[in-house]
Amino acid sequence: MVLAPAFYTATGYGTPIEEGKEVREFKERNYIPEETITGNFAIVKSWKADRYGNVIYRNTAQNFNPMAATAGKITVVEVEEIVEPGKLDPIQIHTPGIYVNRLIQGTFEKRIEILTTRKSD
């Protein structure tokens, strides 16, 4: 049996999902392999990048975008600002340019909502 890249999980053990799969025991618990997911495209938004595709995310974009950017065969990153190489601090880079295939500078309207209930005096 030839397996694609996979990870072992106890989740499907003892269910119909287990049928036809190898079972391995780790620390007295049974696990089955599940193939990894690789998408054709990963599309993420970031704050800033250099022309080589080194990317920095801000705020909650740091949660899943770095992982999503590495999970696609082709990764497209839309950024607010593109800077010249060397302008980003290497320690702040979340996704190295090796994972980025396309870089797009988007235009973003920064809205601030204000609720007005009555005219001010």
The per-residue pLDDT for 108 is 78
Q: What's the rounded Cα separation, in Å, for the pair 97 and 48? A: 12
60's tokens = 């909650």
Position 31: which residue type? Answer: Y
The mean per-residue pLDDT over the stretch 32-43 comes to 88
Residue 42 sits at the vertex; the CA angle it makes with 37 and 47, to the nearest 5 degrees, is 135
Q: In degrees rounded to 5, what are phi and psi of residue 6?
A: -145, 170
- Name the residue among 75, 83, 79, 78 with its Cα closest to residue 52: 83
Beta bridge partners of 79: 46, 105
The mean per-residue pLDDT over the stretch 2-23 comes to 86
Checking if the pLDDT of 121 tops 70, the result is: no
What residue ranges do the domains of the chain occupy? 6-35, 39-105
The mean per-residue pLDDT over the stretch 41-53 comes to 96
Return the higher-pLDDT residue of 113 and 86.
86
